[in-house]
Structure 1
Amino acid sequence: MLAKLTSKNQITLPKAAVSSVDAAEYFEVTVEGGRIVLTPVRVQNAQAVREKLEQLGITEQDVEDAVAWARR
């Protein structure tokens, strides 16, 4: 597969490459041995995290207490 780098440093990834990995909107970019490596990253939004904490019965005070404990 071939992809062209534009003058604005943008690349369109070939559909075959993207469809062969889990759906992702963001990619971690690293350079390894002269190669650019893209790794799909799943980004969760803050609201989803808040909803999960609420489902688990974890309050803001619980989080503050845990952070304070970890910083000791």
Structure 2
Amino acid sequence: MLAKMTSKNQLTLPKRVTAAVGAGDYFDVEVRNGQIVLTPVRIQRADAVRAKLAELALDERDIDDAVAWARSTKGAATE
């Protein structure tokens, strides 16, 4: 089977392939011996949130401060 890469480096996987592996929305991508290997990954929403917090380098205190700000009248007034 062939899959064409777009100018934005996007591929559409054939239905036959995704049906065979039970594909989800996310794939682990790695290169092995010059080949691209895609492995379907089931991501829990909480895992995605934790990953984003880690990416932004936020810790518990940042979250507590943000919640306190949002609950204050000052935070509510800016909406």
State percent identity of aligned pairs.
Answer: 63
Number of aligned positions between the proteins: 46
Give the unaligned 5+ runs of structure 1. Answer: 47-72
1:39 aligns with 2:39: yes
SS at match of 1:30: strand
TM score, norm. by length of structure 1: 0.61
The SS at the match of 1:27 is strand
Q: Which runs of 5+ in 2 are unaligned?
A: 47-79
> Given the two structures, how large is their TM-score scaled by the length of structure 2?
0.56
Q: Specify the alignment match of 1:17 in structure 2.
A: 17
Determine which structure has greater relative contact order: mean sequence separation of CA pairs < 8 Å that are 6+ residues apart, divided by chain length: 1
More helix by share: 2
Runs of 4+ residues deviating >6 angstroms? none
Cα root mean square deviation, aligned: 0.8
How far the C-alpha of 1:6 sits from its partner, in A, is: 0.6
Residue 30 (1) aligns with residue 20 (2)? no
